[in-house]
Amino acid sequence: MNTFGISCANVAYQLTQNGFYFYDGDVTSTIQSLADFHNISGIVEQGLLLPNVGLLAQDGGAGYVGNYSSSDYHALVVRVSHRLSHDLTMELNYTYSHSIDNDSGVQNNLIEYQASGASEICDLRNLRACRGSSDFDHRHLFNSNFLYALPLGRGKWIGGNSSKGLNELIGGWNVSGIFTAFTGDPFKIDSGAFTIDFTQTQPGVFIGTKSDVAGGIHQVPSSVPGIPNTVQYFSNVSNAESAFTFPIAGGPGNRNILNGPGLWNLDLAVLKDFAMPWSETQKLQFRTDALNVFNHTNFANPGASLINPNTFGDITGTANASRELQLGLRFMF
């Protein structure tokens, strides 16, 4: 077919060469290319569309801002509390839940750009379209806290007959802690295609099986001397990438279909109260805190862009800080 002296094959070639992914259903970029056409030499010529089609003469895109979304939250919460006995106080909480939405922003007028994935408002006439797990969804969440008086000092299991001076040194110490563990954050497999508008790229369409996208964090040795190894999230990155395809033009993909690495952390504190000799109510508390006491690394979500296959599944960051130690004195009155 030949229109205005330009074949359809030539148009398709130009759309691909100019960085607009003609093959992935990117309707918005296709319209922009047709309205502002570059010839073989790269010179801008009159587009194949009439001026102002899609408002391209004024803007690169026209965004509509509103407080529209659709969300649901379902949860089962289990709580176990151990009141003070045998010098131990403890509380355990477990939540099994699923948060579903198509906009995970904290504002009610949010439009997210490109691959951030926080918003997937595909159809204002049907807000349940394009829904999936919320960005903050954690299917399993466990946390606990405790306070334990160490069995040291006068009348205790260790040093029960200690002198007054020794008891001041070893007695009265407490250990407290907070332990948290939860499943990883959902993340978007980005297709890079603006199938609906210029405010959001659509996620890829899942066509594989669960085994194709199984996680298994491991290092991939670098083939270039001096370049560090890569941390890969997927057990088989080729199978994981092949499990997704580009969305059909104008259609949605599958929102937040995968979850990143799980996370856990333990913070500990050791503390002791010293009574002031001049007052029965005033105390001086010494404490040392260890945040992430085991210096455990929690990995961030992997990169997952279908148009950047060389970095698909690569983990380039962490979701927590390294171990931190701090000492403190607190005067209580």
Query: How many angstroms separate the CA atoms of 62 and 56, rounded?
Result: 9
Q: At what angle do helices 8-17 and 27-35 cross, to 10 degrees?
A: 110
Q: 172 versus 18: which is more confidently predicted?
A: 172
Please enumerate in sequence order all residues whose Cβ is within 8 A of that of 210, keeping only pairs 6 or more positions apart, or say none.
Answer: none
* Residue 102 shares a structural domain with residue 232: yes
Domain count, the chain: 2
Cα-atom radius of gyration of the chain, to the nearest Å? Answer: 29
Query: How many angstroms separate the CA atoms of 81 and 90, rounded?
Result: 6
Flag whether pLDDT at 168 surpasses 90: no
Once rounded to an integer, what is the mean pLDDT over residues 259-284?
A: 88
* Residue 89 shares a structural domain with residue 27: no
Give the count of beta carbons closer than 10 Å to the beta carbon of residue 160. 12
* Structure tokens that stand for 326 in this block: 């701090």
Q: 25 versus 293: which is more confidently predicted?
A: 293
Flag whether pLDDT at 21 surpasses 60: no
* Residue 138 shares a structural domain with residue 18: no
Terminal-to-terminal C-alpha distance of the chain: 88
CA distances from 63 to 32, 109, 121, 198, 278 (A): 15, 12, 12, 8, 69
Query: How many angstroms separate the CA atoms of 233 and 301, rounded?
Result: 8
Q: Is residue 36 part of a domain?
A: yes
Q: Is residue 63 part of a domain?
A: no
Q: Is residue 60 part of a domain?
A: no
Choose one of 28, 55, 82: the last residue of a domain: 55
Query: How many angstroms separate the CA atoms of 255 and 304, rounded?
Result: 13
Q: Is residue 65 part of a domain?
A: no
Max Cα–Cα distance, the chain, nearest Å: 103
* Residue 172 shares a structural domain with residue 234: yes
Query: How many angstroms separate the CA atoms of 169 and 120, rounded?
Result: 60
Q: Is residue 203 part of a domain?
A: yes
* Residue 47 shares a structural domain with residue 78: no
* Residue 106 shares a structural domain with residue 40: no
* Residue 167 shares a structural domain with residue 273: yes
Rounded (10°) CA dihedral 116, 117, 119, 120: 140
Query: How many angstroms separate the CA atoms of 154 and 224, rounded?
Result: 63
Q: What is the pLDDT of residue 91?
A: 96
Q: Is residue 279 part of a domain?
A: yes
Under the banding of pLDDT at 50, 70 and 90, the label for residue 110 is very low
Give the count of beta carbons closer than 10 Å to the beta carbon of residue 10. 13
pTM score: 0.75
Flag whether pLDDT at 275 surpasses 90: no
Give the count of beta carbons closer than 10 Å to the beta carbon of residue 198. 17
Q: What is the pLDDT of residue 44?
A: 56
Q: Is residue 190 part of a domain?
A: yes
Query: How many angstroms separate the CA atoms of 253 and 34, rounded?
Result: 24
* Residue 186 shares a structural domain with residue 92: yes
* Structure tokens that stand for 166 in this block: 């020794």
Query: How many angstroms separate the CA atoms of 314 and 287, rounded?
Result: 40
Q: Is residue 66 part of a domain?
A: no
Each residue of 52-87: pLDDT tens digit? 665 544 455 555 666 678 899 999 999 999 988 888
| Domain carrying residue 158 | 71-332
Under the banding of pLDDT at 50, 70 and 90, the label for residue 38 is low
Q: What is the pLDDT of residue 141?
A: 97
Strand 230-234's sheet: what is its strand order?
Answer: 215-220, 230-234, 314-315
* Residue 92 shares a structural domain with residue 50: no
* Residue 114 shares a structural domain with residue 231: yes
* Residue 123 shares a structural domain with residue 235: yes
* Residue 253 shares a structural domain with residue 174: yes
